[in-house]
Amino acid sequence: MLLLTCPHCHVTAEETEFAPGGQAHLKRPQPEAGDDAFESYMFTRPNPMGVHLERWRHAYGCGKWLIAARCTVTLEVFGTYPAQTAAPPAEIVKKIKKKRPEWEAPA
């Protein structure tokens, strides 16, 4: 069971209080990129074991969106931050790198 802390209302709760929203920090292709690029954006996601940045909604709380940095192998949560943030905060990246030095933040 994951314990997530909402960065908006600061409530720490089990994952059942949140609704998953998929991979975070995706870059939508421009219209001129073509159908293949859009199909890849919509349907093809890398799914390696390890650290993921995922969107979650505090469904049974404040209702706001957040991003959780977590490991899919150990279920360790490295931190959460507001979904409007363009990239993971430095303190979360530092926490991840301390345990997973090979991890690369999304571009």
Tell whether the model's pLDDT for residue 107 goes beyond 80: no
- Report H helices in 1-107: 35-43, 90-99
Main-chain phi, psi angles of 36, to 5 degrees:
-65, -40
Superfamily of domain 3-26+37-99: Folate-binding superfamily (3.30.2270.10)
- pLDDT tens track for 14-40: 999 999 999 999 888 998 999 999 998
As a whole-number percent, the residues of the chain with pLDDT over 70 amount to 99
Quote the tokens at residue 88: 């993971």
pTM value is 0.87
For residues 43-66, average pLDDT: 93
Domain ranges across the chain:
3-26+37-99
- pLDDT tens track for 85-96: 999 999 999 999
